[in-house]
């Protein structure tokens, strides 16, 4: 099941040497209820609205806060949080200039409580439990549920990561298909250089070949940081969910880190593919409502797509266009 293989707790344990230090806190239903209220067990819309927090912290909330604070201390005093699949990037404004940088449990809980992306994760967990979602690939659709539970992932905060060197790679049938910048709106002049694009392409493909062999999913997205010197750093692995999902709702909302499961917007289409597909086609797994290419330009005007396998990418985009 794609969702289970791409939970942070699953892949980060397997690739611990390739990614920043992290800790995962598994939440009991009582602990989850202390953040989102009991509504998360029923509907994610209700959880997103959020129940009013209790006047005084409950024992479950006090225990969870202590766990989070202890983990933050072990990770150097600052972390960035996420749930099983999604980071609360949509709620970053809640901490003002701090963004996703958290130094205490109250900041972590505030971000998770305010995030619609996290609310979507809660809905996915609920659906996995009751068997109404097939996990993005085989099994459990309409059958028995799985033992899914909310998990708070805390990753050591890394200063100085240049957004221009954070890349997303689409992997299809076990091979890199396309690489593009992870930032959905930024424009980075250095990425326009063709030699630099080739260096980045070579680095990402070599990292995939050397480090991701044997990963149990044939198709997924891979987020990495490629430094000017030194080893490539693994940031995230996300499922590419079927935008024509068999549950009639496009799988997990069509796909973030899931919005449901792809943390950034889809790439601008390579120019040579647009005449075949028409403007607005979205790659498989693009979040619904974010897949269409804006009129007059892509995300970050001039943002390059480094096509690794044009034929594979063309097939993927055509399949997505057929779902529109």
Q: Which pLDDT score, from 0 to 100, does residue 288 have?
A: 30
Average pLDDT over residues 253-271: 37
Q: Which pLDDT score, from 0 to 100, does residue 78 have?
A: 97
Distance of CA 54 to the CA centre of its chain: 30
Q: Which pLDDT score, from 0 to 100, does residue 316 have?
A: 58
> How many CB atoms are located within 10 Å of the residue 93 CB?
10
Please, which contacts does 204-213 make with residues 24 or more away whose CB atoms are closer than 8 Å? 204/167, 204/169, 204/176, 204/179, 204/232, 205/176, 205/308, 207/232, 207/234, 208/169, 208/171, 208/176, 211/15, 211/18, 212/171
Residue, of 67 and 1, whose pLDDT is higher: 67
Average pLDDT over residues 232-254: 57
Report the percent of the chain where pLDDT is more than 90: 34
- Kindly tell me if the per-residue pLDDT of 131 is higher than 60: yes
Cα(238)–Cα(70) distance, integer angstroms = 28
Average pLDDT over residues 273-283: 35
- Kindly tell me if the per-residue pLDDT of 14 is higher than 50: yes
Per-residue CA distances from 184 to 1, 27, 106, 216, 265 (Å): 28, 31, 29, 28, 5
Instruction: Show me where the domains of the chain are located.
Output: 2-156, 163-322
- Kindly tell me if the per-residue pLDDT of 297 is higher than 90: no
- Kindly tell me if the per-residue pLDDT of 234 is higher than 90: yes
- Kindly tell me if the per-residue pLDDT of 256 is higher than 50: no
Tens of pLDDT, residue by residue over 33-71, are 878 875 555 443 343 444 455 456 678 788 899 999 999
Tokens at residue 10, please?
């699953």
Q: Which pLDDT score, from 0 to 100, does residue 23 have?
A: 97
Residue, of 299 and 6, whose pLDDT is higher: 6
In the chain the first and final C-alpha atoms are separated, in Å, by 25
Tokens at residue 185, please?
């709106």
- Residues for the chain: how many in total? 324
Tens of pLDDT, residue by residue over 78-124, are 999 999 999 998 998 877 777 899 999 999 999 999 999 999 999 88
Q: Which pLDDT score, from 0 to 100, does residue 199 have?
A: 92
Cα(216)–Cα(38) distance, integer angstroms = 34
- Kindly tell me if the per-residue pLDDT of 279 is higher than 60: no
Residue 185 confidence class, pLDDT cut points 50, 70, 90: confident
Q: Which pLDDT score, from 0 to 100, does residue 240 have?
A: 79
Report the percent of the chain where pLDDT is more than 70: 64
- Kindly tell me if the per-residue pLDDT of 249 is higher than 60: no
Residue, of 159 and 55, whose pLDDT is higher: 159
pTM comes to: 0.71
Q: Which pLDDT score, from 0 to 100, does residue 135 have?
A: 52
What angle, 0 to 180 degrees and rounded to 10, lies between the N-to-C axes of helices 29-36 and 116-130? 150
- Kindly tell me if the per-residue pLDDT of 261 is higher than 90: no
């Amino acid at each position: 099941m794609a969702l289970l293989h791409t939970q942070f707790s699953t892949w980060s344990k397997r690739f611990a040497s390739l990614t920043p230090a992290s800790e995962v806190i598994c939440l009991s239903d009582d602990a989850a209820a202390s953040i989102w209220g009991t509504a998360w067990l029923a509907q994610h819309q209700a959880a997103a609205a959020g129940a009013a927090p209790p006047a005084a912290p409950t024992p479950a909330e006090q225990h969870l806060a202590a766990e989070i604070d202890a983990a933050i201390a072990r990770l150097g005093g600052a972390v960035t949080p996420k749930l099983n699949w999604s980071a609360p990037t949509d709620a970053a404004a809640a901490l003002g200039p701090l963004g996703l940088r958290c130094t205490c449990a109250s900041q972590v809980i505030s971000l998770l409580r305010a995030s619609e992306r996290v609310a979507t994760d809660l809905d996915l967990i609920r659906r996995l439990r009751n068997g109404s979602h097939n996990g993005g690939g085989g099994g459990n659709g309409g059958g028995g549920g799985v033992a899914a539970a909310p998990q708070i992932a805390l990753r050591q905060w890394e200063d100085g990561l240049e957004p221009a060197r954070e890349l997303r790679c689409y992997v299809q049938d076990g091979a890199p298909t396309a690489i593009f910048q992870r930032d959905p709106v930024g424009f980075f002049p250095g990425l326009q250089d063709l030699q630099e694009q080739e260096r980045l392409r070579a680095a990402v493909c070599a990292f995939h070949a050397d480090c991701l062999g044997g990963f149990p999913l044939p198709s997924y997205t891979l987020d990495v940081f490629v430094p000017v010197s030194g080893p490539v750093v693994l940031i995230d692995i996300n499922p590419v969910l079927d935008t024509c999902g068999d549950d009639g709702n496009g799988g997990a909302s069509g796909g973030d880190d899931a919005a449901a499961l792809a943390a950034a917007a889809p790439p601008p289409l390579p120019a040579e593919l647009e005449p075949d597909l028409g403007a607005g086609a979205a790659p498989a797994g693009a979040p619904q409502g974010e897949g269409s290419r804006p009129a007059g330009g892509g995300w970050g005007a001039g943002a390059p797509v480094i096509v690794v396998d044009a034929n594979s990418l063309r097939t993927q985009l055509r399949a997505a266009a057929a779902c529109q």
